[in-house]
Amino acid sequence: MHGPSVPGFLIHFILLALFVTFVGGALAAPPPPSADAHACAVRTGGFLDGRLAFWQQRLNLADWKVSIVVSHASDLKPKTLGNIHWDSKKKTAIIHVLDASDYQVSCGDALPDMEMTLVHELIHLELSALPRSPASRHEEELAVNRIADALVRLDRQEERSAALGAKPDAPRSREDAPAGDIVSR
């Protein structure tokens, strides 16, 4: 005598269901943070802290207490790389900068863009005393982008020159200038 007969398709169905359950569960579990992600987070924090100190000094914002919060894209407005919130009376500010892990490039390649975001937000802080309106917001963003880009490019040129051992251009008199050069006073 044979036990109860189970149709073949039912066995296949049960095996398939078990397989999907186990594989689906394995795929759904978040991967543990890698050593690379941890190293990137440490590198990013140190880099941003150093650049914050540098840019606060350069922009004459050293009297402000500014904190940086590295944030994921889901914590920022769509299509933004950061933001800033400040309290003028307390002279405190919090800058949110997009996490390097949300970039589509390596950690090292994300750092220059993160610095640009930092400088952009600090310029907003510098302009915080000016009147603002929804109508002027777009124009302010364009101006802040241009200023941040110019400042960061200038800083990177200075760094490259220093790395090559070049000395910054010394002021010249009109007599020292080659013909056609314009020398400012």
Number of domains in the chain: 1
Residues paired with 84 in a beta bridge: 95
Q: Is residue 4 part of a domain?
A: no
124 in Cβ contact with 148 (< 8 Å): no
pLDDT at position 37, please? 80
Residue 87 phi, psi (nearest 5): -125, 105
CA angle 64, 82, 161 (to 5 degrees): 75
- Stronger pLDDT, 98 or 12, i.e. the higher one: 98
Does 1 have pLDDT greater than 70?
no
Which region among 34-38, 119-123, 128-132, 145-149 has the lowest average model confidence (pLDDT)? 34-38
Q: Is residue 156 part of a domain?
A: yes
Q: Is residue 7 part of a domain?
A: no
Q: What pTM was computed for the model?
A: 0.70
**Residue 52, domain CATH:** 3.30.2010
Q: Is residue 122 part of a domain?
A: yes
DSSP string, 45-103: HHHHHHHHHHHHHHTT-TTSEEEEEEE-GGGS-TT-SEEEEEETTTTEEEEEEE-GGGS
Q: Is residue 80 part of a domain?
A: yes
Q: Is residue 17 part of a domain?
A: no
111 in Cβ contact with 117 (< 8 Å): no
Q: Is residue 184 part of a domain?
A: no
